[in-house]
Structures are given as structure tokens and as C-alpha cells.
Structure 1
């Protein structure tokens, strides 16, 4: 059982804190919203007394599906159920269960579920995007129409009654309702299950259905026509392994199929008994007991209507500037709900390209200057820099259990999605290190960029692995990984899974290792000798070719480092770190241990 443990003592009770009574209302319990609230709640010298969260199902992390690892939906690893329990945001945040249906900007209040009113001084919108009920095209398959025969109009929103056996899974509450419905209606023993979509969640849902006892022969994976040549996995080896697992389980796969009708064209059906689809060749029809839709994500209609009626600028998504502001100074927004204003000429970039947890943290940091007197006042950037969108560095992560009981994890740097083969064709791509085979469930791939930094990690394993440890490898230099490249080239590494369980790497996975890196960087950037530049300044001078050398820059930097005071300072910091944490890191030796 996970829970939060609070500790206080005399010193903590006497520590002064600044009380902030501003009414801060967050709409949406997305990872962005949770990260924002976490940053404010645990700000050391500020006490926020009026934080409110408006969410359809309240705070996440209720463990509604139990403690089993398999989930209907993939995860971005921002927060686990244990993280939610340890934070215990319910102790600090007022939670209003309901949906935002209106915003009164003049009166500064939000209407919840068309009746309750929540007042605000600062409104934070981070509802994200959700899977929507797909709207059938209405094509009559008895006319033997193909997808090409269907006119390409604007995408329509489904406005009818949602059938009882249709499910769009967006959170744990939705997953629980689907699981209960499946068990109560004997779907595990009979009846067809249609899974419509081509996202990572379609594969995790199919694995969950198989785990619940649904026969593979009764599951039909219907993939709509792709909108991009980039798949949700974007790795041929992993895709082939998952495809083979689906075939072995007996799951039928239909490609490039567009939903045409439910129940032969019946309007507002109470239940879906059959579903018809058009393809590029001939249409087909499937009997249906339950229909899962992962067709596309979009902003919820009620949220859109509330934003539109409040006259907030909306252009496919809610428009914001680089400081998270909407066109109302009291309303900020972040996450996949938003897009940057067209004046930045960066329509390909949005918060969806970055880590949700980091976006939430940066949103909180941008607001803390309003409440924290210890922070220096924000200086307006020059006019030319105001046209640049912010770029965050945190890793983008997705993971889950795929068909075949494959434990999957993909960690990459934030960026515009690009086909893997196109990335590898770039001259500055770097190198990749791969051990194991995807189909055998031993696949481990690391991409080292041209600066020798870990940029991408992909794992596909039959056995569970320490996800949090592998996330810490992102952004590390390969030499910090015990000269990974040299050892791999010398054929000393045959299995990366076992390689990262060796004692040498335990310090990298320690929760205080990040603090050590910051401390070492501070040492190297500070000027310790008056007549000499810092190591950082020296490196910049070499890059700018301000110093002429008769040797390689790397060798010169190494020589200067070893002859300077920096070497002893770095060694002292590392030894202090090992000695202070020796209870957790007993495998390391330091002077005086013997």
C-alpha cells in the first residue's frame, strides 16, 4: 500500500513561509496540471492556501484497476500510482469533480457542470486532448463503395447518442467502466471486439483484452487510413515483433479501413451490433459486441464551447504566447490543448512535442514570479527574442505492455516526429548500440548522438525492467556509462539489460546523482583562478577558435584540467557524494574505507 508520510519538527514549524491567498484554479487533471500543482505545493518558502482543481473524475492515481502492471492505456511515465500517493495532492488542493462548461471572464468565475461556480484570480487550462467518438461517413457498403468514393469533406463531430457498448478510453475511470462491462456481458467467452485506431493505446488495449481472457480470434484490429508515414512505434523491428504476436494470438488485422456505418446505417443506435468499413479495395462488415475507439484525439466539445463562448482565441487549439498567456491576462494554458500563436511561425511545434511534466513545471515557474518576492523581477526579452518559442529538454517517454506480453519503453529527445530511417540517414546522426532480438523479447537499443550523448532508448522485453533507471540514462555521456561505445565495439557487451544491472552504474540511478551533476557543472563553470578562465570559458574559446593549438582541442582541455585546481575539486565532490550516500552505494570505494 502506498501512502504519504508527513514529518514535522520544531525547526520546520519555526521556518517562516509567505502565505499566498490568490485563488488559483486549474482545469484538467492532466500530467501538465498535476506537475503545475506539485511545483506550487512543494515550493519551500511559499504556502498556497487557495488551490483548486476542476476535473471530471477528481485526482488521478486511485488504483481503480488494482496493482497489476497491465493497463488499457500506455503511459508517459510522468507519474505512477505510487507518485500520486506520495504527493497526496488531496491534502493541499481543493478538488471539484465535474466538467467546465463555461467561463465568465468579467466576473472571473468558471461554471462547473452548468450549475456550480468556482471563482478565480488566475485560471490555468490544461485539459489536454481526448479520444473522441468517431463519426461514420455514412457510406452504404451495399453499393460496393471504396474509400476513394467518399468525398473528402471537413471532419464531422459525432453528435448523436453514444452507444452503450462504445468506449473511448481516456483515463482510469473509463478503463474501469470498460473492464466491468466486459466481465458483466461475458465478452471474454463470446462476441466480437472491434478495436479501431492505430495508436500505441490500441496495442496496449488488445494486450489487456487478451489478459482478461478475450479470445484472440474474437478481437479485430481495424486501422484507419494513416495521416502520416510515421507509425506510433516508429521502429521496424519492434513493429514486426508486435505484428507476429498479434498473428500468433489469432487477432485479425484490417488496414486502411474507414468507419462507414453502425448497424447498417441506423441513426443513434442504442448498441452497436455491427460495424461497416470501406477500404481502398472492397468494403467489409463485422459483427460487434463491444467497440473501442482510438481513432483520433481532439479537444472535448464542451471544453471548446466554453472557450469559444468566452471569446478566447481558438485556432484548432487554444492559442497562447511563449509565456502561456491566452488573450486574457488572467487565463493561462498549457499542454496539448494549446498551440503557439501564428506570429511565431512555428506551427509544427507545440507543447505536445515536449515532456508534459516539464511543461507543467515551466508553467509554474512562469507564475512564481507573481508571488515569490525572493525572485528577481522578470526582464522583458528583446523584441527579436520574443518571436522565439521556448525549447524544453526533458525526455519524451511512452511505455506499456504490448501484445505478446512485451514490456515496451521508448525514450527520446523532444522534437518533430521523423521517420527513423530518415533520422539515421542524416550525416550527424551518431551511432546506435543494439543487443538482443525484438521477437525474442531481449531487444535493447541505444542511440548515441554525434556529441556522444544518449539521445534515444528503446526496450522491448518479455521480462519487466526498471523503467525509472533507464530514464536516468537519457542525456548521459557514453563515457559516464563505463565507456559504453568502446566496450560495445570490443564486443564486451552482449546484453544491455544485464550490463545496466552491474554495480558500477548504481550511482547513476541514485536520486541524488542529478544534484551531483549540477554541483560538478557549477565547479567547471565557476572561475576558481583569477588569472585563468573557467573550463567552460576555455571550451567556448576553443569552439570560437580564439586559441591556436598545435594539438587536438580535447587533449588540450584534458591537460589543462589535470594541471588546474578543477581536478581536485571535482574529485573531492565525487568522493563526498559517495561517502555521504555510502549506505545506498556500498559497492564503491573511497580513501580511508579500508
Structure 2
């Protein structure tokens, strides 16, 4: 079917039908009882879903006399020459205009006031409440205004209205959004000053003589520059947009009650707060932008290059208004381009249609450009909390700047994207000079250019280049290759959720190497992808995002700017296969056992053309990056099912160190990490959430509920629509008997408390500087490296130090089994060192045998600090004695609690705090826009369910549950039937409604780590509140305990302990092994 357009043109003389505006009926199955009535409703839905669709075509074979099923609206098309339909193939043509109401589009008159006001009032009553019932008539009465009001009329009544204004505040838009790709919504001017926010210089094309000869044809002329589409942006930042501020204009009306024509109606329609808009009232800390909705050719152009490191003094009132110097510094770091050309845009203020007349909105939108013949851009803003509208599919969302304070999202529509002739074809050698012009707008075109040259010069090339044209000008380019290891992808990724393996052979799968498109044509990404499938015969296209592809310093290609039209595929949980324990005949193939470089996988399928897709622009701010937060983010952004693709454009993560595990770690650093459930280093890299979310490096300082914003680093405000707190608990300094004698800082230099993987990296980088001295007896003297704590992480830290090369005789392990330095809740916590006393005893013996000094039952009482702000001596005490230890470094794994800053922010915000942050069954606090989960929280006392608090359950599962809840809450009602999950619950008899309504968690609590002596430990336990083993064994309902192996001689045989409860269900298991490595 490659040349069916030429077939229609040559045989049937149909020039108006093309791949963009038509679809073919391939299969039609119906009940004969409804032969004359079933098709019109189907076609109406089809035309409404695809805004560019104008024709549906049915090929009718010869000798088919009747086509009643095609309805009376079908047009029978005969080939040229009037050949009899009995002897040749004919066409049945169904046109869009025959299935929709024909509206009369005209300018509004004063008599339309009642109809128009009624239509607008059904969507928003704000204008009517402020200006009365005749504001449309008053606007029309004003002469010389730049505002246009047009209506769609049917049967003498206005059923849809559009209000557009030529007054646009270009300066505000330029400061708030990345308008470079759209040339600032102005015409081209010689004095245009377009900055790049990075220091990178434009890369030239490869100076290859063979390539120069390729394009040395005299008959080629340069392609006209699409200057209004030039340049590109790579990133999507945190969205905080607002409406257009109209320029001042005078009113010629003498009536003092006449509505001011300069008033921006759109601001009144969508404003949710009474406070005025202040451009620099909000400031933003340095952030790493999401790459999800990048829409520019140049993905390096707008990478954030500023980080605010200055802080101001604390204020009890938290009125943290930045100084003018700080504001100027922020604006200086982000270079704002200057476009002095003529204005080239108009603002869409109101677009409303009556019920059952939504199709009129698109017709009005197309007609709006006729009112502004000299303008090419239609600008519109929409609140981020509003559900997605159908007509927004034709618009392109503009990326905000890092310092943007615009409270709404900005969308644009270009004149060229309306009813233009679009085409996609395979590139040929004659396209070369035009492609050079196209690629010259990139920062790094060399790699793509080499792929293109290979595709047109070498007939056996692995690459294939396709181009998309608009009115015969190149507006998009894609490079496809055939090399795909599908066996590896099937084994390591959950492709089975999206495709049928039996239907995609080796010759039908390709790889998207590059995909570039001008930003104003972003709406045609899906069309471009569909045509790539059609022209290449690839039913499946894959795209891999490597670890370095998100780093502008290392990547050689831009991210695909169609990535949000692709489906993210989650990685599988892969087990370890050890040849020692698996027979050769049963060993899996290499595609299963081998591990290639880590990458995130995206796919495009033929069926994606009919897959429903929505974009959610709600501003979701997530505080924390622990296991609960990671489960939430994975479910939110990668939880789409095969029937609905949901893209969350505006998710922001706030964390001091960004997302976890995004740096290569050494073996020692890997040992110090205690793995819990699915949160493994390899899996997090495969998910690569940096593609989907924005990252702000900072600490939560305050929550301003009235402004719906949080204070970051005590300096800047970050607005939100929904705030989700996953702060969790951190290790804190133990309470000392005496105050520190010499206090040079709040934290001595040689005291470490490891809470994140970034802390691990910083600690071991610092340890690396002293590594050769820590093995020197003269340097160490009588000092020790002290590990203090009774958490399992403290034992893993001890093993990591030994692996790092620290002699065990220089290590001291202090295990405070007494509780005088810990809260009363600590013994109940599920993260005590070892729940099995026999395993705890075995580990103690291993530690002593290695030569480590073990102090069991001691607590930290005091320390001395030297003049260099280092702890030089540590005093530990037990019930009967006191010991002083010289200290080189000390690692503290003592009490865990909510940080003081987090508690202060929660408390001053007025959120209910009862030992922990109080939430209800839907994870909501007493503020309907603030949610929380994880160890930070507890259920309200009305549930009487302290035993169901999140601290006792699998953190990953808790995060997944709140992620599913958010998807259900934010997906519009009309799309919920396509979601694969539901949160409906029933209430069993005998259980209260409050307790039954709490979410249920079933996944086990999995803990694995490496202990001293290279002993591998694994524990799997039933979720729920921890009960000491000694107490459980005294109960008659304890069940049966199965034990194998010898924990005292692990070098001979491992130790395994299995507990089966009285219901014959496995309740817990734990094991020690010296040989097999564990991978969760």
C-alpha cells in the first residue's frame, strides 16, 4: 500500500485524499438486522476522535451491486473513463461533512448576548457575576478594539463562541517560557538575539570530502528557512504558567459602566485566587528538567545551568521575600532572548461550546485565524488543574523556564498546522541540501547526518531515513535501523503486556535511532510514527534511552521529541542463574543470563494509532526519594495499561540529592546498601525516572497552604496543585550526657550518618583520601573506626568498611541493646538487627573472629571534639562500666525520626501531627491538597488502627497503592473505564467500615545485605507489626519452625530458618549463606 495515493490520483482522479485526512475500511462486521443504521454512529465517533480525518474510503470489488451498509451518505466513485462497476473496482467515499452539523460561522452581534452569556455561564459564572448579564453586548459596542468575538450558529441560535484578543504581553511570555523555538511569537528581525543557556558551541557537519561531493549539485538550492520554527528545546521544567496580560488601550465609549476592552477575559474565567499576579513573587531553585515533553530539535539549548546556593536568615514568620540582588542573579543566570520583530500572535480568551456541539469549537478555532490575517500563532493558557479538553490535542504545550512564575500552562497553535498538506516519505539523495539546512539548527548534527548519508549512499545500509513535509518543506526527520535483539528485550522487559510475541518476528521490528520534528508540528508526532510503520513494514519500533543520553556532556544524539507518544516498558525482575546449581541442559539461553548496558525501553506499535492518550498537567510535587516515593513515581508515570496511555507532564521531585542510585557504585558501596524488595540499583537505572519527572535539589523548609506552595532551602517558593510527602525518617545524633565542649559546627567532620545513597558516595569518597593511612598502625595508634547502632545497616556498614580495605582490628562495633538512648517504639520497629536470636549470635561470633572490637550493650554517652572540629574520643557506657575509645571516624546508626526541619514545616503549616503526620484512608491529611505516606505517617485515631501504620509494611507497595489512587483521582471520568485497575472495596461482615476502608498491603518485607565475612543475609517476613520471636514462641499458636544448616559453621553449610504458622502458611524465612550472592 505504499503508493495508494498515486493509485487514487491516477485511476480515480482524487487529489484531495491523502494519508493524513483519510482512513480505509479494512474489516466491517455487523448484524444484518442493523445493516442500515449501525455505521453512522461509528463514523461520528471516528471523525470526532481524529480531528484531521475528513474521508473514510471503502474499496468495493467488481460485481457488488448493493452497498446498503455504507448508508445513504456514501459517494460511489468510478475510475476514469466511466467504466462499468460490474467489471472494475470502485470506491465508496464517506465525507466528514455529511456526519456533522453544518454550522454558520459569523461575527457576533449584540443580539447574540443572551445565547453567548448562557453558554459561557454553564462553564464559568465568574464573568456574569462580575459584569452582569450584558457584558458581551457591551464588548461589541466598543469601537476600535482588538478583540474579536465569533459564534457558530445553528437554527438561528448561537451554540458556540470564541473570543480572541490581539493584545499579548510578549515580555511576560518571553521571561516565563522557552519561546525561542517559536521565535518569541514575533516575526524575523535582523536584531534577533537568541541565547543558548549552555556554553556549548554549534557543531559543524563532518568535513568529509565524499559528503561534500554528494551535495555538490548545481541544481540544488537551499531550502527556505522556517525561521518561525527554528531552534529547539530539550527539556520540560516545572510548570507554573498564567494568562496573557493585555496591553493598555483606550476606550472610546462614554458609558462609565461599559466593560473595559483591554480587560483580559481569560484571566477572569480561570483565576482561582484573589491575589494579584506577581512576576517574581515566586522564585525557583536550580532544577533538573524533565525530558518528557521536549519539543525542540536542539535538546541542549535550554538545559538549566543555574543553581541557587545562597541562603537567607531564618524568619519566624516565614515571609521569605528574596532580595532584589537574588532576583537579579536568578534572571542573569538565565539569559532571556530578545526578539524585536513585529507581534505575530493573538490570545484565545474564551472558547466554549454548547452541549452536543463540541465539533463547533474546532471550526471556530480554524476561523479565528481569518480574523487575524497577519498573525501566525494562536496562544491560549489553561489552569493545570483543569481536565484535558478535546481541542487541546491540536495545541502544543510550551516549556516553562526554570524561573517561571506563570500560574498556568501555555499552549500554542500555528497557522501552518491547520489544514496543511502533510506527507511522509522515504528520503532520497535529492533531499540532501534540504536536510543539511534542517540539521543545521541542531547543536550536534554530526551523528544524525552520518546515519542519513549512510542510508542514501549505501543500498545495504542498516539505516533508513524518512522525512515529513508540510507544503513540500521538511518539518520532520526520522532515522530507523533494523538491529534489535528481541530475545533480550522479551527476557528483560515486560513487553508481553503490550504486544504478542508471536506476531512480531525479527523482520518486523526496528529501532528509532532519531526522531526530529519542528515544535509547532508536535501534534503530528503520532501521524509521523504511523507512517513510519506503514512505509517500513515494522509493526514494532523500539527506542532505548541509555544512562548517558540524559547528560548533555556525553550524549551524541538528542532525545526523541516524540517520546511522550511512545509507551514506556517496565523492566522485569531478573533472578540470578548460577551454573553450580543448574544443570547445563536446564540453563537459560544467553539472552536471559547476559546483562547489557542499562537502558530504559520505549516502544511504538501499529495499534498505538487507536490507543487513547491523555496528558495530565496537574502540578504534583513529591518530597523525598525513599522506597515509598519510588514506588509512587513508578506507578504514576509507568502504570498505563494497554487501553489507555496517560502522560503526567508536571511531576516534580524535591530532594537534597535528587533521585537515588544514578551513579556507578563500587563493591564496598554496594555492600553498605541494604536492599529492600524491588528497590535495587539495576532496576532503578532501567526505570530512569529522570525522563519523566523534574528534579529540584533542595530541602523542604515550609509549607504555605494558602498560596499552595512550599519553601525550598529557606529561599524560594515552589507552587503545587497536590503536595505528596514521603519524607520518611532519618538517623539523627544521639542524646549525649553533656554538651559538646568545643562546638565548631553542628556536625563534626568525622561523624557520618548515612541516610541516602548520595551520603554513601560522599562518605566513601572521603574515606578514599585516607585509605592508605587507615591501614597504618602509626597513623591509627590506639584509635578506631567506630560503627554505632543496632540497625541492620550498621552491620552492613561494618562489612563495607572491611571490604574497603580497613583492617578489622582497627574497627569497633558498638551495639546498644539497651533502650535508654532510643524511643520506646524502637524495639517494636521491624528494622532491628536480626529478628532471629540465633542468627544474631552467629553474626556476633563472626565479627569477633574477624578481629573487630565488639561492645554489646553499650550506649554512646559523650565525646570530645578537637580544635579541628573532629571527634577525638568517644565515651560509651553499659550498666556496669564505662569505656573511652579513640576515634578516627564514627558511623552512627542510632535513633531514626522525622527531621526537625520537616517537623517544623508540618507543624507551622497547621497539619495534624500526633507523633506522626495524621492521614485518612485515602492518604490525605487535613488539607485536601496535601497527601502523605510511609514512615512519616499514621492513621487517624478514629480508625483505631495503629497496627496498620505504613511503617510495618512494604514501603514499595505503599507507594504503588497511593500511585494507583492518584491515577484514579486525576484521570478524567470519561477515561476511567480504560484503566486496568480499580480501587473499589467491599466490607466483610464483622469488620468496621473505618478499618475495612483502609488499604490492604500483602507484599512481604524483604531485606537482604552482605554481612562481615562476606556472609549473605536474606530475610522475608509477613507484613505487619513486628513481634519479638521470643514472645511469639511462647504462644500456642506459634506453629512450626523448620531449621536446616549450621549457623556456627557457615563455611561448610548455610543456615536456613522457615516459620510455618498454625494455618500451614509460611510466615517468615531467613537464611545465611557464604557462597550464593543475592539479587533482589
User: TM-score of the superposition, structure 2-length normalised?
Assistant: 0.40
Residue 788 (structure 2) pairs with residue 180 (structure 1): no
Q: Is the 8 A contact 2:636 2:966 kept in 1?
A: no
- Please state how far the C-alpha of 1:257 moved relative to its aligned partner: 2.3
Aligned equivalent of 1:414: 1023
For 1:375 and 1:450, how far apart are their aligned partners in 2?
42
Gaps of 5+ in 1: 141-157, 469-594
- Please state how far the C-alpha of 1:317 moved relative to its aligned partner: 1.6
For 1:267 and 1:188, how far apart are their aligned partners in 2?
22
- Please state how far the C-alpha of 1:425 moved relative to its aligned partner: 3.4
Alignment of 1:66-215 (within 5 A): 66=666, 70-138=670-738, 161-185=746-770, 186-189=773-776, 190=780, 191-215=783-807
- Please state how far the C-alpha of 1:422 moved relative to its aligned partner: 2.5
Aligned equivalent of 2:601: 5
Alignment of 1:4-43 (within 5 A): 4-43=600-639
Q: Is the 8 A contact 2:833 2:840 kept in 1?
A: no
Aligned equivalent of 1:244: 845
Alignment of 1:534-553 (within 5 A): none
For 1:225 and 1:447, how far apart are their aligned partners in 2?
25
SS at match of 2:793: helix
For 2:954 and 2:677, how far apart are their aligned partners in 1?
10
Aligned equivalent of 1:370: 969
Alignment of 1:255-274 (within 5 A): 255-263=856-864, 270-274=869-873
Aligned residue among 1046, 1052, 1062 for 1:450:
1062
SS at match of 1:273: strand
Aligned equivalent of 1:574: none
SS at match of 1:315: coil
Distance 1:302 1:159, change over 3 A: farther
Q: Is the 8 A contact 1:70 1:400 kept in 2?
A: no
Q: Is the 8 A contact 1:160 1:268 kept in 2?
A: no
Aligned equivalent of 1:356: 955
Aligned equivalent of 1:293: 892
- Please state how far the C-alpha of 1:380 moved relative to its aligned partner: 9.9
Give CA deviations for 1:35-62 in whole Å, capped at 9, x if unaligned.
1111111132222111111111111122
For 2:603 and 2:976, how far apart are their aligned partners in 1?
28
For 2:985 and 2:636, how far apart are their aligned partners in 1?
23
For 2:903 and 2:1032, how far apart are their aligned partners in 1?
36
SS at match of 1:163: coil
Aligned residue among 982, 987, 994 for 1:386:
994
Give CA deviations for 1:335-379 in whole Å, capped at 9, x if unaligned.
011112222333344211000011001111222222232447977
Distance 1:379 1:419, change over 3 A: closer
Aligned residue among 630, 655, 658 for 1:58:
658
Residue 1039 (structure 2) pairs with residue 430 (structure 1): yes
Q: Is the 8 A contact 1:196 1:293 kept in 2?
A: yes
Aligned residue among 213, 229, 233 for 2:834:
233
For 1:33 and 1:173, how far apart are their aligned partners in 2?
16
Give CA deviations for 1:498-517 in whole Å, capped at 9, x if unaligned.
xxxxxxxxxxxxxxxxxxxx
Give CA deviations for 1:73-127 in whole Å, capped at 9, x if unaligned.
3221331111111111111111111111111111111121122322111110001
Q: Is the 8 A contact 1:161 1:269 kept in 2?
A: no
Aligned equivalent of 1:143: none
Q: Is the 8 A contact 2:701 2:714 kept in 1?
A: yes
Q: Is the 8 A contact 1:25 1:124 kept in 2?
A: yes
Residue 997 (structure 2) pairs with residue 405 (structure 1): no
Q: Is the 8 A contact 2:786 2:890 kept in 1?
A: yes
Aligned equivalent of 2:548: none
Give CA deviations for 1:149-180 in whole Å, capped at 9, x if unaligned.
xxxxxxxxx99610000000011111112112
SS at match of 1:60: coil
Would you identify which runs of 4 or more consecutive aligned residues in structure 1 move more than 6 Å?
376-383
Q: Is the 8 A contact 1:26 1:123 kept in 2?
A: yes
Alignment of 1:451-470 (within 5 A): 451-468=1063-1080
For 1:346 and 1:224, how far apart are their aligned partners in 2?
30
SS at match of 2:685: helix
**Alignment root-mean-square deviation, CA:** 2.7
Q: Is the 8 A contact 1:343 1:387 kept in 2?
A: no
Aligned equivalent of 1:498: none
Q: Is the 8 A contact 1:64 1:172 kept in 2?
A: no
For 2:1045 and 2:663, how far apart are their aligned partners in 1?
34
For 1:67 and 1:218, how far apart are their aligned partners in 2?
21
Aligned residue among 294, 304, 307 for 2:906:
307
Aligned equivalent of 1:587: none
Choose 1 or 2 for highest CA Rg.
2
Q: Is the deviation greater in 332-341 or in 313-322?
A: 313-322
Q: Is the deviation greater in 379-388 or in 314-323?
A: 379-388
SS at match of 1:183: helix
Give CA deviations for 1:454-501 in whole Å, capped at 9, x if unaligned.
221211100124544xxxxxxxxxxxxxxxxxxxxxxxxxxxxxxxxx
SS at match of 1:326: coil
Aligned equivalent of 1:439: 1048
Distance 1:269 1:348, change over 3 A: farther
For 1:198 and 1:179, how far apart are their aligned partners in 2?
21
Residue 861 (structure 2) pairs with residue 253 (structure 1): no
- Please state how far the C-alpha of 1:234 moved relative to its aligned partner: 1.5
For 2:896 and 2:868, how far apart are their aligned partners in 1?
23
Q: Is the 8 A contact 1:27 1:124 kept in 2?
A: yes
Q: Is the 8 A contact 1:355 1:394 kept in 2?
A: yes
For 1:403 and 1:315, how far apart are their aligned partners in 2?
39
Distance 1:139 1:172, change over 3 A: closer
For 1:180 and 1:456, how far apart are their aligned partners in 2?
38
Distance 1:415 1:380, change over 3 A: closer
For 1:119 and 1:395, how far apart are their aligned partners in 2?
37
Gaps of 5+ in 2: 1-596, 820-825
Aligned equivalent of 2:942: 343
Q: How many matched pairs?
A: 450
Q: Is the 8 A contact 1:277 1:285 kept in 2?
A: yes
Distance 1:181 1:59, change over 3 A: same
Distance 1:17 1:188, change over 3 A: farther
SS at match of 1:213: coil
Give CA deviations for 1:268-320 in whole Å, capped at 9, x if unaligned.
97110111123211212111000110011111111111111211112222111
For 1:440 and 1:467, how far apart are their aligned partners in 2?
23
Aligned equivalent of 1:527: none
SS at match of 1:322: coil
SS at match of 2:1010: strand
Larger RCO, structures 1/2 (Cα 8 Å, 6+ apart): 1
Q: Is the 8 A contact 2:619 2:650 kept in 1?
A: yes
- Please state how far the C-alpha of 1:387 moved relative to its aligned partner: 4.5
